[in-house]
Amino acid sequence: MTQEEAGLMLAAQRALLSRVPQSLIAVSVELDFDAVRVRYIFDDSATENDKQLLSEAGTELIGEFSESYRIEEEFLVVSERSDMEHFSSLVFLRHEP
5 sits in which H/E element: helix 3-16
pTM for this prediction? 0.94
Q: Which fold has domain 3-93?
A: Alpha-Beta Plaits (3.30.70)
* Domain locations in the chain as residue ranges: 3-93
Indicate whether 81 pLDDT > 90: no
Indicate whether 77 pLDDT > 90: yes
- How confident is the model at residue 42, as a pLDDT? 96
Give the tens place of pLDDT for each residue, 24-73. Answer: 999 999 999 899 999 999 999 999 999 999 999 999 999 999 899 999 99
Instruction: Give me the DSSP letters along 41-78.
Output: EEETT--HHHHHHHHHHHHHHHTTS-TT-EEEEEEEEE
